[in-house]
A and B are shown apart, each in its own frame.
Chain A
Amino acid sequence: MSERTIELEVLRYRPEQDSEPWFQTYKVSCPEEWVVLDALNYVKDELDRTLSYRWSCHMFVCGSCGMVIDGEPKLACKAFLRDYGNRIRIEPLANFPIERDLVIVMDDFMEKLESVKPYLIPKEEKSIDQGEYLQTPAQLKAYKQYSMCINCMLCYSACPQYGLAPEFIGPAALALAHRYNMDSRDVGRKAREDTVASHEGIWECSFVGACSEVCPKSVDPAGAIQQVKLTSAIDYFTSWLPGGGSR
Chain B
Amino acid sequence: MARSHKAPFWFLFAAGGTVVAFVLPVMVLVTGIAPTLGLFEGAMSFDAMSAFVGNWLVKIVLFGIITLALWHAAHRLRVVAHDFGIRADAPVAGTVYGLAALGTLLTAIALLGV
Contact = CB atoms under 8 A, between A and B. Distances in A.
A199 B2 contact: yes
A236 B8 contact: yes
Contacts of A199: 1-2, 4, 6
A229 B3 CA distance: 12
Contacts of B2: 198-199
Contact of A206 (B3, B4, B82): B82
Interface string B11-23: 1001000000000
A197 B79 contact: no
B10 A233 contact: yes
B7 A203 contact: yes
A193 B4 CA distance: 11
Nearest to A167: B1
A54 interface: no
A170 to B, nearest CB: 14
Contact of B4 (A160, A198, A208): A198
Interface in A142-161: 160
Given A230-B14, A233-B11, A197 B4 contact: yes
A201 B1 CA distance: 9
A247 B82 contact: no
Contact of B3 (A164, A198, A237): A198
A206 B83 contact: yes
B3 A194 contact: yes
Interface residues of B, number: 14
A160 B83 contact: yes
A198 B1 contact: yes
Given A198-B1, A230-B14, A203 B82 contact: no
Contacts of A233: 7-8, 10-11, 14
Q: Which of the listed residues A200, A208, A229 has the most CB atoms from chain B within 10 Å of its own CB?
A: A229
A109 to B, nearest CB: 17
A235 B79 CA distance: 22
A229 B79 CA distance: 15
A229 B85 contact: no
Contacts of B7: 197, 203, 229, 232-233, 235-237
A208 B79 CA distance: 10
Interface of B: 1-4, 6-8, 10-11, 14, 79, 82-83, 85
Given A194-B1, A233-B10, 18 more contacts: A160-B83, A164-B85, A193-B3, A194-B3, A198-B1, A198-B3, A201-B4, A203-B4, A203-B7, A229-B7, A233-B8, A233-B11, A235-B7, A236-B3, A236-B7, A236-B11, A237-B11, A247-B3
The 5 residue pairs across chains A and B that have the minimum distance between CB atoms: A198-B1, A236-B7, A203-B6, A203-B4, A233-B7
